[in-house]
Amino acid sequence: MGVLECGRIKCENIMCHKLILGHKMYICDECWQELLLYKQTWPNEMTVRNVRTRIEEFMDEHPPGTFVSITNQDEINEEFKRLTNSK
């Protein structure tokens, strides 16, 4: 049995079962959940090629842990302050 390594750059998860991009690349459950969050930031109108490109960019450029869901305004405000060095 071979190792089914996640195809996302810098992800070390193995034994992934979900195939993406035409069954050419595995993605782990953690990265899959982040990809779903990332997808929510995409514009409403896109070409089929743009969808593929964004998935490929996600797998190539975003380290695991980049897309974490923030569920309330206090968390959003705290993250904004952190990122903008505000008090």
Longest dimension (CA), the chain: 53
pLDDT value, residue 57 = 95
pLDDT value, residue 39 = 93
Provide mean pLDDT across the span 58-65. 90
Stated pTM of the model? 0.77
pLDDT value, residue 2 = 56
Eight-class DSSP state of 4? -
Cβ(18)–Cβ(29) under 8 Å? yes
pLDDT tens digits for range 7-50: 999 999 999 999 999 889 999 999 999 999 999 889 999 999 99
Task: Collect all residues with Cβ–Cβ distance below 8 Å to 54 and sequence separation of at least 6.
Answer: 38, 39, 42, 46
